[in-house]
Chains A and B, each alone.
Chain A
């Protein structure tokens, strides 16, 4: 026994459901696209930084091969450690928990090696700069 008013009574609920489904699928699409853009950006930045280190290391290693006294033993040890860190970097697994740890260590070693080699500043546009402490400590 169909109630002739049944469909109109459920009108609100029906529209609510319809709107929800529409919003959900649209959100899914735009969210995916946004995530893709962030992934591309971050992936590019990480790749660029790793590539930068790789380039520096390859050059330094070649220089050492040509003359093994060219850099101090401490600098050479630092360069070797950077090489190992780069090999260990889980390039294909961005969710690996060691990603940040290895990147921090690479940056630390890079600073040390540059200082040992008396390199004042080599960097590229967008090279990550160490953030200074809060502005409130600026003066002292």
Chain B
């Protein structure tokens, strides 16, 4: 069997404080468009990074240093790649538009009473979700002229909400929290009637400490979650069609990966090729894949590789790039971002 390794392509410096999160622009990396991603930091700025097509070298394309007055915790590109949403501890979410290579702040979403922790666009790009330390999750509709209107304020979590993420194909929203649960939200009626349709907690084989992040596989029938309880958990659902209100609404525990991390797992991201990466407070990156040779009752996913000392400090975010040959980017408390390539070891 071939041995794989994560090869560091470049170490990106520029942020002057911890780097919290990064997001690849989904429409880059094919048709001759150079790969591009945004990163956000405790230094209150957002940086746009682009790869040079001929040299392959990464450099800062833009630094967005207004209007956020505190840490920028999370960022997300709209599916069209035209808009960037950034969530900040200043309780606002900013929307940036790429106008001929310049980034212009076209809207500021206000409503949360405390730090905004995460932001996510739905698959069609007409809905945006945000979550906050005020324990609420907000859903916004994208209106013409870069207007955003609040559709619903969702209350249900009993603590800080760490991340919101839309299902890759359906308008179903997922949130995970410091209250150790994952909640599933869907529009139950015909008019803005968003309700919590499932709470995945400890009694359902759920996590026993803060759930930090979640990610879906390409087909959207599996979800991976990572936690302060040092485990990764895989959940499954099916597309049962429109009869009972559409699919991917009810999730079951599939398997738990224990014993791979001994510090908090902050980030997890599933690639379209079926490899999921995890980044943790132990400064290491791990990759997992489906285990075809798994015995009955054996673990259904196996560790593909472990990259020790990937960073000097905690790894806050790991994200696979779009494109035919995905790269992995990692963001860390050490203030740097690293771009990695998965290659065969010689």
Name which of B131-139, B305-313, B336-344 contacts chain A.
B131-139
In-complex Cβ contact of A132 among B111, B114, B151 (8 A): B114
A75 / chain B contacts, CB cutoff of 8 Å: 149
Q: Mark A104-140, 1 if CB is under 8 A from B, else 0.
A: 1000100110111000100000000110111001101
Interface size on B, residues (CB 8 A): 25
Q: How far is the CB of B111 from chain A (nearest CB, A)?
A: 4
Flag whether A74 is at the interface (Cβ < 8 A): yes
In-complex Cβ contact of A129 among B113, B133, B141, B149 (8 A): B113
* Docked complex Cα distance between A71 and B23 (Å): 35
Q: Contact between B150 and A137 (Cβ–Cβ < 8 Å)?
A: no
* Docked complex Cα distance between A115 and B132 (Å): 15
Q: How far is the CB of A99 from chain B (nearest CB, A)?
A: 17
* Docked complex Cα distance between A77 and B191 (Å): 10
Given contacts A137-B159, A137-B160, A137-B178, whether A115 and B134 have CB atoms under 8 Å apart is no
> Which single residue of chain B is at the shortest CB-CB distance from A109?
B153
Given contacts A115-B150, A132-B114, whether A104 and B133 have CB atoms under 8 Å apart is no
Q: How far is the CB of A106 from chain B (nearest CB, A)?
A: 12
A114 / chain B contacts, CB cutoff of 8 Å: 111
Q: Contact between A74 and B114 (Cβ–Cβ < 8 Å)?
A: no
* A77, A108, A130, A138 — most chain B CB neighbours (10 Å): A130
Flag whether B8 is at the interface (Cβ < 8 A): no
* Docked complex Cα distance between A134 and B149 (Å): 29
Q: How far is the CB of B157 from chain A (nearest CB, A)?
A: 9
Flag whether A14 is at the interface (Cβ < 8 A): no
* Docked complex Cα distance between A114 and B95 (Å): 19
Q: Contact between A108 and B134 (Cβ–Cβ < 8 Å)?
A: no
Q: Contact between B153 and A111 (Cβ–Cβ < 8 Å)?
A: yes
Flag whether B155 is at the interface (Cβ < 8 A): yes
Residues of A within 8 A of B (CB): 72, 74-75, 77, 104, 108, 111-112, 114-116, 120, 129-130, 132-134, 137-138, 140
Cβ-closest 9 pairs across A and B: A133-B160, A115-B111, A115-B150, A137-B160, A133-B159, A137-B178, A132-B114, A130-B113, A130-B134
